[in-house]
Structure 1
Amino acid sequence: MDVIVTAGGVPAPGEPLYPVTQGKPKALIPILGRPMIAYVLDALLGSRQVGRVVIAGLPPEAIAGLPGPLISLPSQGGMLENIEAGLECLRRSEAPSEYVLICSSDVPLITPEVVNFVINACLRQPGYDLYYTVVEKSVMEARFPGSRRTYARIKEGAFTGGDLTLLRLNPPDTPRDLWQKLIAARKSPWRQAELIGFWPLIKFITRRFTIADAERLAVKVGRMRGRVVISPYPELAMDVDKPGQLAIIEQELARRAQSVASSR
């Protein structure tokens, strides 16, 4: 399966990670001597189900020395634009896969096992245009207490969004402006609920909104068939937005490195 890694984010002055990045891409934050995106690529390329990998948002010189082979595309300005550029690149390639795995560059704790789970869980439910991963709060907090994730509280429980999404290479035409707004509001479930209409917002406020409601709205509002995939792997939702989250990830990667060294 082809993969697009979104890597164009650059924290601006005043944002929590700016003191760490100083105007450089978040994907290149050094962790234990390696750029953060390198750990993501280790997981992707370690899966036998992954084929081509497109890095959307970094120039060729920025990916020199990273695990590969890779295709690099310069940033197009925003996440949606970078995804669109990656999709167009794959459409022009030889024998592209029917679905594309969209992966953020700031989830360095994912493993090949996590990648395989997402791909298999999605493909076991064929016929959808978009598969969106979520992690339940108790699972997230048990693995990463104090990670300060944003949760959407719905009828089935509290969930945080994952950073691995499966998308049909040629999805139906969708209202682009709405998707831009939804992506911009991805850290605020309340704002997303406001964007999709009055009655969904009321159901969300009263905690009567369900996973099935979300899937129906993908058809009604987004014009594509969507499926929510609940993941038992909190690593796919442990992205880096704040220095505290970066510290948690550094500690976990250091623990893994020590475990590997001691087993030799």
Structure 2
Amino acid sequence: MPKRSDLHVLRPMPIIDALLAAGSVPGPHDPLYSLTRGQPKALLKIAGQPMIEWVLEALHAAQTVRHVIVIGAHPPQGLGVRDYHLPSHGSIVDNLLAGAAFCEQLPEPPSHLLLISSDIPLVTAEMIDWNIRAALEKGGEACYHILARETMERRFPNSRRTYFRLREGQFCGADLHLIRRDVFSGYNPAWRKIIDARKNALKMARLVGIDALLWLISGRAPIALGERLIRERLGLNGHLLIAPQAEIGMDVDKPLQYDLVTKELLQRIERVQLDGV
């Protein structure tokens, strides 16, 4: 008979499927247009293969991910045996909702969804596994992964990210997040409220409260307060997770970042080749 303290070890791993966002097509005014020329961003070749393939390789090697649902561009090298493809439904939000609805129809729907972008080619399987396990330990319905400015600038001094301020420091958002699938299914109205308010400051203020919005804008709000406001005013049990891997926030949005990531990937390839000698 196991001890009570050992029971957590016996819990089965939740089923987690990844929604891989690959629907972005940079327009003429986008900084990356000179490289993509009207093609999907996910198909931009970087260090010898389309950007999306680097992310797919990491997802396929991750121990915590079952299926990968690619939404948007179709991977040129084809899908893996555990992959699915959905066409783009327009916006990022519409694509995520379509992916969640698809997963709900699987013979064994996942309990959680990993939302991940196809423009972080430096991500590895180990990083994905670490972030999923850390998010599961946090519990709740959603985990929004963030990176400290020190983490980003130590690893990528010239990455030029945009940061927001909390009492604990300056942070930027990562490009992978874990959320319970049933949050998308409609039982929890918070998701729809957030979608509706995401681009309207007045609606957002009404949603979280003027007092809370001003507190957050001031940069003096602690992480715990942000989590409590989400829970109390949106009805969503969410958490912020400070991740230690800068690579999960190193998305390719500008030619400068493209050059930086290309250099990193070529160095990685060289190390692998040397190890194989």
TM-score (ref. length: structure 1): 0.90
C-alpha contact 1:38 1:66 (8 A) present in aligned 2 = no
Superposed counterparts of 1:134-213, under 5 Å: 134-171=146-183, 172-174=188-190, 176=192, 178-179=194-195, 181-182=197-198, 196-213=208-225
Give me the whole-angstrom Cα distance separating, in 2, the residues matched to 1:230 and 1:199: 25
Classify 1:93/1:152 alpha carbon distance in 2 versus 1 (closer, same or farther; 3 Å): same
Give me the whole-angstrom Cα distance separating, in 1, the residues matched to 2:119 and 2:70: 13
The Cα shift of 1:221 comes to: 4.4
For residues 15-36 of structure 1, the C-alpha deviation after alignment (integer angstroms, 9 at most, x for no partner) is 1111111111111110122110
1:6 aligns with 2:21: yes
User: Secondary structure of the residue that 1:159 maps to in structure 2?
Assistant: strand
The Cα shift of 1:175 comes to: 5.3
C-alpha contact 1:41 1:67 (8 A) present in aligned 2 = no
Classify 1:99/1:29 alpha carbon distance in 2 versus 1 (closer, same or farther; 3 Å): same
1:210 partner letter: P
The Cα shift of 1:125 comes to: 2.3
Give me the whole-angstrom Cα distance separating, in 2, the residues matched to 1:201 and 1:80: 23
1:233 aligns with 2:245: yes
Structure 1: gaps of 5 or more residues: 186-191
Classify 1:166/1:85 alpha carbon distance in 2 versus 1 (closer, same or farther; 3 Å): same
Q: Which stretch shows the higher mean deviation, 217-226 or 38-47?
A: 217-226
Counterpart position of 2:91 = 78
Counterpart position of 1:89 = 102
Counterpart position of 1:123 = 136
C-alpha contact 1:163 1:236 (8 A) present in aligned 2 = yes
- 2:226 corresponds to which of 203, 211, 214: 214
TM-score (ref. length: structure 2): 0.86
The Cα shift of 1:177 comes to: 5.6
Classify 1:259/1:109 alpha carbon distance in 2 versus 1 (closer, same or farther; 3 Å): same
What do you get for the CA RMSD once the two structures are aligned? 2.2
Give me the whole-angstrom Cα distance separating, in 2, the residues matched to 1:225 and 1:20: 40
Give me the whole-angstrom Cα distance separating, in 1, the residues matched to 2:138 and 2:270: 38
Q: Which stretch shows the higher mean deviation, 231-240 or 199-208?
A: 199-208
The Cα shift of 1:164 comes to: 0.8
Counterpart position of 2:4 = none
Give me the whole-angstrom Cα distance separating, in 2, the residues matched to 1:64 and 1:240: 19
Counterpart position of 2:12 = none
For residues 188-236 of structure 1, the C-alpha deviation after alignment (integer angstroms, 9 at most, x for no partner) is xxxx889854223322343211211221232244431101111011111
User: Secondary structure of the residue that 2:253 maps to in structure 1?
Assistant: coil
The Cα shift of 1:241 comes to: 1.1
Classify 1:236/1:210 alpha carbon distance in 2 versus 1 (closer, same or farther; 3 Å): same
C-alpha contact 2:112 2:181 (8 A) present in aligned 1 = yes
Counterpart position of 2:264 = 252
1:57 partner letter: G
1:106 aligns with 2:119: yes
Q: Among the aligned pairs, what percent are the same residue? A: 37
The Cα shift of 1:96 comes to: 1.7
Structure 2: gaps of 5 or more residues: 1-15
Classify 1:130/1:82 alpha carbon distance in 2 versus 1 (closer, same or farther; 3 Å): same
1:54 aligns with 2:69: yes
Give me the whole-angstrom Cα distance separating, in 2, the residues matched to 1:177 and 1:202: 19
Give me the whole-angstrom Cα distance separating, in 1, the residues matched to 2:205 and 2:147: 19
Q: How many residues align?
A: 255
Give me the whole-angstrom Cα distance separating, in 2, the residues matched to 1:232 and 1:240: 19
Counterpart position of 1:262 = 274
Classify 1:11/1:193 alpha carbon distance in 2 versus 1 (closer, same or farther; 3 Å): farther
